[in-house]
Amino acid sequence: MAELSLHQKRQLLEKGWVVIPQVVPAEMARAALHTINSTIESYLDSIQIRAHELKTDERLTSLLMQTDAFSLVESALGNGKVIPSTNVQCALRFPDDENEDLKRTPHIDGFHPTVDGNPGSVKPFIAIAGFFLNDIEQDNAGNFMAWPGTHGQFAKYFEKHGADPELKLGIPPVDLPQPVQIKAKAGDMIFAHYQLAHAVAPNLSHAIRYAVYIRMHHADRPKDSLDVLTDIWKYWYGMSEVVGKDQWKK
Ligand SMILES: O=C(O)CCC(=O)C(=O)O
């Protein structure tokens, strides 16, 4: 049974994500790439393929279910408690034009800010696992971009101000840290807290960035409950050895 190490849990606790090398064997990453590429032709106008037939495709869900990934996730959320979303996201990031606006603003998944005067909503889940299918070895190559520690910053904000039920602001107005563009090898997995602010970096490389994301729900969390906005580790049963314990920082 694979488990997140104490060091990995600490990074997850502090920064909000952890990258676990080589969770997916090369052969499986290639098979997933092949699956996407062979379906891509009919969706060329779409930046993000949400092809119905790929949402539950076993060659993609297997990245989670037939590797160490699922037990790594369970080691943080609790055995038998993880409910993976059946809506697998094929996140393809096509090369950008250098002359485009390359500024990126962060978002939190599951937060839908006001659009056209209609109220937004908050639909938190628990965690996200992402599988990189090609190497991303430099900045501005369509990297997953993360604002470290924002999961905790936002929790503090919600504690003080309450969650804006209509989410007019999208994300809470806090002083954001410098973002980090995650580098990864094909087969690496990112595992992140849902309340982490993130975005996709510009892609100035020649290649499409391929990733597959699967979001996780927790069996014990009542549907639509919002306590997880402030009690952000409430359902992370496997994190109890690091949550609220500061001594490891010394
Ligand atoms: O494609 C990525 O790396 C990030 C995707 C993302 O931000 C999202 O789907 O919410």
| 246: in domain | no
Question: What is the C-alpha to C-alpha distance for residues 100 and 130, in angstroms, rounded to an integer?
Answer: 26
| 82: in domain | yes
- What pLDDT, in 10s, does the model give residues 203-230? 888 788 999 999 999 999 998 888 999 9
Structure confidence at residue 112 (pLDDT): 77
Is residue 46's pLDDT more than 80?
no
Q: Whose CA is closest to atom 6 on ligand 1?
A: 199
Confidence of residue 49 (pLDDT cuts 50, 70, 90): low
| 135: in domain | yes
- Residue 179 CA, chain-centre distance (Å), reads 15
Distances (CA, A) of 241 to 15, 178, 191, 211, 237: 16, 28, 18, 31, 9
* Ligand 1 pocket member 91 (CB < 6 A): yes
* Ligand 1 pocket member 144 (CB < 6 A): yes
CATH number at residue 202: 2.60.120.620
* Ligand 1 pocket member 9 (CB < 6 A): no
The H-or-E segment that residue 209 falls in is strand 209-218
- What pLDDT, in 10s, does the model give residues 166-183? 666 678 889 999 999 999
- What pLDDT, in 10s, does the model give residues 135-150? 999 999 999 999 999 9
* Ligand 1 pocket member 217 (CB < 6 A): no
Looking at per-residue confidence, does 116 or 9 come out higher?
9
| Angle (CA) 22 36 19, round 5° | 25
User: What is the arithmetic mean of pLDDT over 25-31?
Assistant: 87
DSSP labels, 77-142:
H-TT-EEE-S--EEEEEPPPPTTS------B-TTEE--BTTB--EE---SEEEEEE-S-B-SSSBS
Is residue 56's pLDDT more than 90?
no
| 249: in domain | no
Structure confidence at residue 94 (pLDDT): 78
Is residue 93's pLDDT more than 80?
yes
Looking at per-residue confidence, does 57 or 189 come out higher?
189
Q: Which atom of ligand 1 is nearest to the CA of 109?
A: 10
Domains of the chain: total: 1
Structure confidence at residue 166 (pLDDT): 62
Stated pTM of the model:
0.86
* Ligand 1 pocket member 77 (CB < 6 A): no
Is residue 40's pLDDT more than 80?
no
CB atoms within 10 A of CB 248: 13
Structure confidence at residue 148 (pLDDT): 98
CB atoms within 10 A of CB 152: 18
Q: Whose CA is closest to atom 7 on ligand 1?
A: 199
Is residue 37's pLDDT more than 80?
no
* Ligand 1 pocket member 200 (CB < 6 A): yes
Structure confidence at residue 191 (pLDDT): 98
Structure confidence at residue 249 (pLDDT): 47
Q: Which atom of ligand 1 is nearest to the CA of 48?
A: 1
Report the chain's mean pLDDT, rounded to a whole number. Answer: 87
Q: Whose CA is closest to atom 3 on ligand 1?
A: 144
| 1: in domain | no
* Ligand 1 pocket member 70 (CB < 6 A): no
| 113: in domain | yes
* Ligand 1 pocket member 93 (CB < 6 A): yes
* Ligand 1 pocket member 211 (CB < 6 A): yes
| 48: in domain | yes
User: What is the arithmetic mean of pLDDT over 13-25?
Assistant: 95
User: What is the arithmetic mean of pLDDT over 10-36?
Assistant: 90
User: What is the arithmetic mean of pLDDT over 182-203?
Assistant: 96
Range of the domain at 141: 6-240
Q: Which DSSP symbol is given to 207?
A: S
Structure confidence at residue 117 (pLDDT): 67
Task: Report CA(198)–ligand 1 centroid distance (Å).
Answer: 7
Q: Whose CA is closest to atom 10 on ligand 1?
A: 109
Task: Report CA(220)–ligand 1 centroid distance (Å).
Answer: 26
| 15: in domain | yes
Structure confidence at residue 248 (pLDDT): 46
